[in-house]
Structure 1
């Protein structure tokens, strides 16, 4: 039974057809990870088939062929042939062909009326050659990160169907919280083709102290959640795997050479809870819909595309999943910003824009800032720390100490009245249920929104996961503060 289209999917398909009707034959459809690219592609294919058209859908990796075929079957599309080596579904007579770009580069290009290019940002040479050879043939690119330099030389329009921020806000993706350790020393790491040189990066990151810190951090903050860990190279990944195993954590390792059967078994064990952490070196960045609830980023990157693709692995919703935990051991969030803040509204034409139409240089997006009191990374422009309430003042001397992992949050949006009423009703329910003192709910409301709930009249209602987690976090923070104060008082007394 096929699923109904989500509103933004319907709108996106309409914009694609509109663009093509207006003469733009090469649109790129941007859909954030988890937005349902395959579902949307299936609907485009159905409409093409209804008009008697043939469709080729290209895949950037062999391992995605069978996954895509099964997804199309689930949407009721069964007349499918596969172009990939000696695949058992090879049948050139079928109106829909799912094709590996590697195989396409070695064969005659198939006759078709429409090409859908999955992961269009990967910019495969054979696809561009096909475009140049048949300029009137429509190509529709699909990508969560269509920001490749020069992509606009081959595609003529960017259609933004859904951003990560939008999908989180509408409940289609899980919200996330990020923790960041002390910054890795990458001073000696060279940059090659816009990103860190792998050899230098591996040398910088594959150190016993750093890999041990990844494991100890996960044991402390990972909440025993099913976790993907992204490493630099095989040696680094094996070091992380070893340290997890030595700590008694059920761990597995996956790379590009891992046998398909072994990878499928690892996934089954992961979903059954028999494996808690899967360490990999970049092979699980696209086309992976595992139930990931924690992600370890131990591979620094300068690439927005890689960063967004990696973090996206943890943002899919699942039953009982309130949020995702990101353990960023790479400094990437500080350098690139939150994934919800990364956005481009046009395709790159291959040149860097040095200035806007007014002649002024474009400024980079503001990055998170660290609270000097509690090490929380707050959105740029936020003076008072949302975590501890500290507002910095000018001082003559600043003492720095090594802190524990810092919690990062995305941009704080002003809450609407509906949200405030919901929170107050749930805080009142908790106050009554736990027999808190009169005024407890009002004080917690003020902690959350910065104002008192004057004039609000609501019926108490049981807290949902978001509110419940916030109440628990506040309780834990208060308890830790009491413990810290107690220890400080004991030390002063002993002195």
Structure 2
């Protein structure tokens, strides 16, 4: 007996309806290439589905273009759920090839070389920031069609050359506050040093160097996942891992398997679409036998499994805020029953991009011309940025002065001090912190960074001693470097963050010097 799935009505949220009105106002003003910008989970596909259904009701030919094969199936299923009759333009013999339907769900690769029987009146391009030349050329060949590009991250250089303007929907922070999205608890875990990572011809970290460096800490990735899943969920929880290469993904899957967990890799090298679809279908089930999917260049954009609870970042980016935000968005959807999500950063991306990410969450992407510049600048990862974004207590991410993970609040610091009835801007020279005569190193100007390095070194080399003894050792090292300075209140019990390389080297050198000196005295 055939069971028909009931059609779900498209019910727009108020801000989605406002976005559609914004698009229509721009179209009436003569702008026919528009970006619809909204954070992951804001419902861009639902909004586009409404536009496409209305176009189809008028007999217009409408195309929805995606750039990943899994997204063809995902979008087709969503259109089925809304009762939108459609054909599928993918490959040479797709079972739903029906080019005479008013609506077509298209693979960008197939569309660029396929002839369709009608000229489209509406072209919706998903993940428009990717800017495939074949799709840009296709849009150029249909100048009378309205083009709408969907993206959460309109940061790609040159977008302003292909789009007339942008309609911003609603900032991520409001979507979180209203319960439409979940803000993940972010933890900054062990990751390769930037010095280990080579660059490719685009000035980004090369995948090969990221894989080679990342394989060294695979054991830490698995251990951190086990610890955090048991701490927050009482056991394994549905997880997506973002990996730089297939080889790195294999190492991860093997390490998880050795620990007794089922992680499956999907990548551009999968032997068949059927094999990949089977893994994704199983992963979508509420009681999936797959604990996690390891993605190499496949699930970064648009992939939607709302009940995913944990994301693991193992692929470092130097410039691409867009890729980082697309990845973290995979765990932010808020289906019924989901109240928490975790993001475990083993790439250093939080340290590089947190300030920019939070700015976009709070204020939106802004004008297209401004947004385009966000992916053009290499972000630094040093002691200064770590202090701004990493909680010294738990390794969580700081949002402003508050840790999102443990609630620790950064002590207030006015930035201004009173001196003889006048006000002066705060800087380190107004604090009585002075290094031992004869010591010369740039990192000495940041005594907190030196303390963090001393703390990290002493805890790491304590050989089973308790943490209290390690802290006392670190205190002695710090006082040896700053012998005439007062040790700041509150530093002794702070949790060490990833230390600055130069400060760590200084501490190591000072400890060796002290041991040599003590040896001479003993003789």
1:391 counterpart (395, 411, 421): 411
Distance in 2 separating the partners of 1:27 and 1:276: 39
Matched, 1:266 2:279: yes
Matched, 1:251 2:263: yes
Matched, 1:293 2:309: yes
Distance in 1 separating the partners of 2:370 and 2:143: 18
Matched, 1:279 2:333: no
300 and 61 in structure 1: CA distance in 2 versus 1, 3 angstrom threshold? same
Which protein is bigger by CA-based radius of gyration? 2
1:135 counterpart (131, 143, 156): 143
User: How far does residue 243 in structure 1 lie from its aligned partner after superposition?
Assistant: 0.9
User: How far does residue 135 in structure 1 lie from its aligned partner after superposition?
Assistant: 2.9
Aligned length: 390
Matched, 1:151 2:159: yes
Matched, 1:238 2:250: yes
User: How far does residue 387 in structure 1 lie from its aligned partner after superposition?
Assistant: 3.7
1:346 counterpart (347, 367, 391): 367
Please say if residues 16 and 159 of structure 1, whose CA atoms lie closer than 8 Å, have aligned partners that are also in contact.
Answer: yes
Please say if residues 84 and 99 of structure 1, whose CA atoms lie closer than 8 Å, have aligned partners that are also in contact.
Answer: no
Distance in 1 separating the partners of 2:16 and 2:62: 19
Q: Give the structure 1 partner of residue 226 of structure 2.
A: 219
187 and 6 in structure 1: CA distance in 2 versus 1, 3 angstrom threshold? same
Question: What CA deviation, in whole Å up to 9, does each residue of 1:356-390 have, x standing for no partner?
Answer: xxxxxxxxx9993345566554334679x984456
Please say if residues 155 and 372 of structure 2, whose CA atoms lie closer than 8 Å, have aligned partners that are also in contact.
Answer: no
Give the TM-score taking structure 1 as reference length: 0.72
Distance in 2 separating the partners of 1:152 and 1:349: 10
Gaps of 5+ in 1: 354-364, 404-479, 481-495
53 and 233 in structure 1: CA distance in 2 versus 1, 3 angstrom threshold? same
Distance in 1 separating the partners of 2:174 and 2:386: 20
Question: What CA deviation, in whole Å up to 9, does each residue of 1:231-250 have, x standing for no partner?
Answer: 11011111111111111122
Q: Give the structure 2 partner of residue 368 of structure 1.
A: 388
User: How far does residue 129 in structure 1 lie from its aligned partner after superposition?
Assistant: 1.2
Look up the SS of the partner of 1:45 in the other structure.
helix
Question: What CA deviation, in whole Å up to 9, does each residue of 1:47-103 have, x standing for no partner?
Answer: 212333211221212232222122112112114353542212222221112222111
Please say if residues 39 and 75 of structure 1, whose CA atoms lie closer than 8 Å, have aligned partners that are also in contact.
Answer: no
User: How far does residue 319 in structure 1 lie from its aligned partner after superposition?
Assistant: 3.1
User: How far does residue 190 in structure 1 lie from its aligned partner after superposition?
Assistant: 2.9
Q: Give the structure 2 partner of residue 34 of structure 1.
A: 41
Q: Give the structure 2 partner of residue 449 of structure 1.
A: none
222 and 348 in structure 1: CA distance in 2 versus 1, 3 angstrom threshold? farther
User: How far does residue 277 in structure 1 lie from its aligned partner after superposition?
Assistant: 2.1
Question: What CA deviation, in whole Å up to 9, does each residue of 1:461-493 have, x standing for no partner?
Answer: xxxxxxxxxxxxxxxxxxx9xxxxxxxxxxxxx
Please say if residues 29 and 140 of structure 1, whose CA atoms lie closer than 8 Å, have aligned partners that are also in contact.
Answer: yes
1:316 counterpart (327, 333, 340): 333
Deviating above 4 A after TM superposition, structure 1's stretches of 4 or more consecutive aligned residues are 349-353, 371-377, 380-383, 392-395
Matched, 1:19 2:26: yes
Range 374-383 or range 54-63, more displaced: 374-383
370 and 306 in structure 1: CA distance in 2 versus 1, 3 angstrom threshold? closer
Distance in 1 separating the partners of 2:48 and 2:411: 49
Please say if residues 85 and 101 of structure 2, whose CA atoms lie closer than 8 Å, have aligned partners that are also in contact.
Answer: no
Structure 2 matches for 1:470-489, cutoff 5 A? Answer: none
321 and 112 in structure 1: CA distance in 2 versus 1, 3 angstrom threshold? same
Gaps of 5+ in 2: 1-7, 231-235, 375-384, 414-430, 434-446, 458-494, 496-523
Look up the SS of the partner of 2:308 in the other structure.
coil
